[in-house]
């Protein structure tokens, strides 16, 4: 942890615009674990490490450098895409004096200087490295006994491994240990590192849905009752687009998808209502009731109705 | 050809691709290549090494890269395949070949600061959950200054969105 344990809160565009329940669970859990999240005024999109960088590397690097420059303190992001943009941008600015000079020229017009050093933390990496499974287990008041989940690590927290250096890029397991610490069982499954397909949506929607379908189908076949993940793009693809995938492939999946912070929140005693679990598009309610018993009652809200494709 | 020359100069793509000995580990692990035979990172690198970068810039399949970075992790030579493809896409965008969605989203960010704003329904849900209003973002003045510095308007003239590719069933004409 940083000495004062304060981070600039950088939820990322998808959570800010579409997934308030993830922001809620992250704030609840991180604050319970002693983190102070302060608002970051004047920020922009990170911007996106795929479609924006694909279009114009220089503009991408400039906006990313500006966010890093105005943060002043380390940022805590809830999104693997933002994490990837900031880590890659820091790396590019370190390695390439020519790019640093170019970006410096753009930032100068705003009265800003190119930042140096590392200024970004991913919430899941923080939970792993600064809290850890043992300390997390001590705080569990409602063990998630009997729950069988699969973990979907996504691409950008662990890759590229030579700069991110967080976990095995082909079979990451450190985050699964956090889920074990909550009392749940984490199942092994084939093709764990298969991309969810979200980023292909703009170029080929059919392909994107196909990738999402295969991912969900393999997870279901492995016996999972739910998916746990750490990236809002994966969340949109596997939860909010799941109904679309079901229609496209004429099948029923009904596989609930949790953000890691939501599952931790439940185990630490937060109520499903406070966590906003009614905002999931795939109904998580039957599973949560099975886990928590009648105390989960009280939230009458039906699951959300809109997909995001 | 200015776009290509500029990119070659700045990012030296053929030199970075030269260490490739065509083992195919990138293509074997590629999640997109599993479904689309026309997306083959090994062949993309081969095309660059053989000096036919021009051909790759005009190939719409490059836009399918999901940037999952499996290729980099698998490459015995640690060639940054996705990053090389990204720079080729930058050159391709300068010919007006970028997908419409990408162009629209990027322009929204450069003009509004965010790819999207929370709609009323989400703002209501935020307040029901006891969340604060989203923090105010980058100012219009700053966005305008950056757009000017980056010559964004001129770039948008070139990026101008093209319509989506017609259905190909994964078998586009080469």
- What is the distance, to the nearest Å, from the Cα of residue A6 to the centroid of all Cα atoms in its chain? 20
Report yes or no: A8 and A75 within 8 Å, Cβ to Cβ: yes
Does residue A47 have a cis peptide bond before it, meaning omega lies within 30 degrees of 0?
yes
Q: Alpha-carbon distance A79 to B123, whole Å?
A: 20
Structure tokens at B44: 């993309």
pLDDT digits (tens, 9 = 90+) for B60-69: 999 999 999 9
Task: Answer yes or no: do A200 and B32 touch at CB < 8 A.
Answer: yes
Total number of domains constituting chain A: 2
pLDDT at position A171 is 94
Pair A137, A88 in one domain: no
pLDDT at position A243 is 97
Tell me the residue range of the domain where B7 lies: 2-93
Identify the residue whose tokens are 């990236």: A231
pLDDT at position A244 is 97
Chain B nearest-CA distance from A302, in A, is 13
Question: What does the mean pLDDT of chain B come to?
Answer: 90
Q: CA separation (Å) from B79 to A139, A165, B12, B26, B71?
A: 44, 17, 13, 10, 8
Domain assignment of residue A79, yes or no: yes
Tell me the residue range of the domain where A42 lies: 6-122
Final residue of a domain: which of B93, B109, B144?
A: B93
Domain assignment of residue B28, yes or no: yes
Task: Answer yes or no: do A56 and B93 touch at CB < 8 A.
Answer: yes
Q: Alpha-carbon distance A182 to A185, whole Å?
A: 9
Pair A100, A146 in one domain: no
Pair A108, A158 in one domain: no
Pair B69, B144 in one domain: no
Domain assignment of residue B55, yes or no: yes
Pair B72, B147 in one domain: no
Pair B129, B152 in one domain: yes
CATH number at residue A261: 3.40.50.11810
Q: Alpha-carbon distance B137 to A99, whole Å?
A: 25
Chain A nearest-CA distance from B50, in A, is 23
Pair B68, B88 in one domain: yes
Q: Which of A21, A47, A49 sits opposite B67 (nearest CB)?
A: A49
Pair B68, B6 in one domain: yes
Written as one string, the DSSP assignment of A160-172 is SHHHH-SS-SSS-
Domain assignment of residue B167, yes or no: no
Q: Alpha-carbon distance B15 to B84, whole Å?
A: 11
Confidence at B14, pLDDT banded by 50, 70, 90: confident
Pair A11, A33 in one domain: yes
Pair A47, A148 in one domain: no
Q: Alpha-carbon distance A36 to A6, whole Å?
A: 5
Pair A286, A230 in one domain: yes
Neighbours of A250 (CB within 10 A): 6
Domain assignment of residue A81, yes or no: yes
Pair B7, B85 in one domain: yes
Q: Which residues in chain B have Cβ-Cβ distances shorter than 8 Å to A48?
A: 105, 109, 115
pLDDT at position B173 is 38
Final residue of a domain: which of B64, B93, B122?
A: B93
Structure tokens at A146: 């009997």
pLDDT at position A304 is 60
Confidence at B163, pLDDT banded by 50, 70, 90: low
Identify the residue whose tokens are 């604060």: B132
pLDDT digits (tens, 9 = 90+) for B76-130: 999 999 999 999 999 999 999 999 989 999 999 999 999 999 999 999 999 999 9
Report yes or no: A214 and A244 within 8 Å, Cβ to Cβ: no
Task: Answer yes or no: do B102 and A55 touch at CB < 8 A.
Answer: yes
Pair A28, A66 in one domain: yes
Pair B58, B80 in one domain: yes
Which H/E stretch holds residue A262? helix A260-267
Pair B85, B17 in one domain: yes
Is residue B4 pLDDT above 80, yes or no? Answer: no
Final residue of a domain: which of B75, B93, B111?
A: B93
Q: Alpha-carbon distance A151 to A137, whole Å?
A: 18
Provide the percentage of residues in chain B whose pLDDT is more than 70: 90
pTM beyond 0.90, yes or no: yes
Pair A149, A218 in one domain: yes
pLDDT at position B107 is 96
Please indicate if any CB of chain A lies within 8 Å of the CB of B151.
no
Q: Alpha-carbon distance A261 to A302, whole Å?
A: 21
Closest-CA residue in chain A for B135? A41
pLDDT at position A190 is 95
Chain B nearest-CA distance from A49, in A, is 8
In a 10 Å sphere around its CB, with 0-12 CB exposed, 13-18 middle and 19+ buried, how is residue A20 labelled? Answer: buried
B 88-147 residues with CB below 8 A of A? 89-90, 93, 98-99, 101-103, 105-106, 109-110, 113-119, 122, 125-126, 129-132, 134-139, 142-143, 145-146
Q: Which residues in chain A have Cβ-Cβ distances shorter than 8 Å to B116?
A: 13, 17-18
pLDDT at position A308 is 58
Domain assignment of residue B21, yes or no: yes
Q: Which residues in chain A have Cβ-Cβ distances shorter than 8 Å to B132?
A: 39
CATH number at residue A52: 1.20.1050.140
Pair B107, B89 in one domain: no
Total number of domains constituting chain B: 2
Final residue of a domain: which of A122, A154, A183?
A: A122
Confidence at B13, pLDDT banded by 50, 70, 90: confident
Pair A106, A158 in one domain: no
Q: Which residues in chain B have Cβ-Cβ distances shorter than 8 Å to A207?
A: 32, 35-36, 64
Pair A164, A245 in one domain: yes
Domain assignment of residue A304, yes or no: no
Provide the residue-wise pLDDT of chain A in tens; the chain has 309 residues: 445 789 999 999 999 999 999 999 999 999 999 999 999 999 999 999 999 999 999 999 999 999 999 998 999 999 999 999 999 999 999 999 999 999 999 999 999 999 988 889 999 999 999 999 999 999 999 999 999 999 999 999 999 998 888 999 999 999 999 999 999 999 999 999 999 999 999 889 999 999 999 999 999 999 999 999 999 999 999 999 999 999 999 999 999 999 999 999 999 999 999 999 999 999 999 999 999 886 555 544 455 655 555
Q: Alpha-carbon distance A179 to A89, whole Å?
A: 31
Rg (CA), chain A: 19
């Amino acid at each position: 942890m940083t000495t004062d344990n304060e981070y600039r809160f950088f939820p990322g565009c998808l959570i800010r615009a579409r997934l308030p329940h993830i922001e809620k669970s992250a704030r609840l859990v991180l604050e319970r674990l002693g983190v102070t999240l302060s608002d970051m005024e004047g920020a922009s999109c990170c911007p996106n490490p795929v479609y924006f960088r694909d279009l114009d590397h220089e503009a991408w690097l400039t906006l990313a450098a500006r966010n890093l420059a105005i943060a002043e303190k380390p940022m805590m992001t809830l999104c693997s895409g933002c994490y990837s943009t900031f880590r890659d941008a820091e790396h590019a600015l370190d390695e390439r004096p020519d790019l640093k000079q170019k970006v410096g020229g753009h930032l100068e017009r705003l009265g800003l200087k190119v930042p140096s050093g590392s200024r970004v933390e991913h919430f899941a990496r923080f939970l792993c490295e600064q809290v850890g499974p043992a300390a997390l287990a001590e705080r569990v008041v409602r063990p998630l006994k009997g729950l069988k989940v699969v973990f979907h690590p996504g691409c950008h927290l662990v890759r590229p491994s030579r700069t991110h250096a967080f976990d095995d890029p082909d079979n990451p397991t450190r985050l699964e240990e956090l889920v074990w610490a909550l009392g749940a069982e984490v199942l092994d499954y084939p093709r764990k590192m298969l991309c969810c397909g979200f980023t292909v949506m703009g170029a080929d929607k059919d392909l994107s849905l196909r990738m999402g379908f295969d991912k969900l189908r393999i997870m279901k076949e492995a016996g999972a009752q739910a998916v746990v993940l750490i990236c809002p793009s994966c969340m949109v693809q596997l939860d909010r687009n799941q109904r679309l995938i079901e229609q496209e492939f004429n099948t029923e999946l009904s596989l609930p998808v949790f953000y890691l912070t939501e599952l931790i929140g439940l185990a630490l005693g937060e109520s499903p209502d406070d966590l906003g679990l009614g905002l999931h598009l795939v109904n998580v309610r039957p599973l949560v009731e099975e886990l928590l018993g009648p105390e989960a009652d009280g939230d009458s809200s039906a699951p959300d109705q809109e997909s995001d494709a | 050809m200015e776009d290509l020359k500029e990119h070659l100069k700045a990012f030296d793509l053929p030199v970075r691709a030269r260490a490739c000995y065509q083992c195919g580990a990138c293509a074997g692990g590629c999640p997109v290549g599993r479904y689309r035979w026309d997306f083959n990172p090994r062949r993309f690198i081969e095309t660059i090494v053989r000096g036919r970068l021009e051909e790759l810039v005009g190939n719409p399949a490059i836009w399918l890269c999901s940037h999952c970075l499996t290729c980099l992790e698998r490459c015995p030579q640690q060639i940054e395949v996705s990053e090389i493809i990204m720079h080729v896409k930058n050159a391709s965008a300068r010919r007006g070949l970028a997908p419409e969605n990408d162009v629209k989203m990027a322009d929204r960010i450069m003009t509004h600061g965010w790819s999207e704003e929370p709609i009323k329904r989400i703002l209501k849900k935020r307040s029901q959950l006891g969340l604060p209003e989203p923090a105010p973002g980058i100012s219009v003045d700053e966005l305008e200054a950056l757009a000017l510095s980056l010559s964004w308007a001129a770039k948008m003239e070139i990026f101008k969105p093209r319509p989506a590719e017609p259905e190909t069933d994964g078998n586009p004409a080469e």
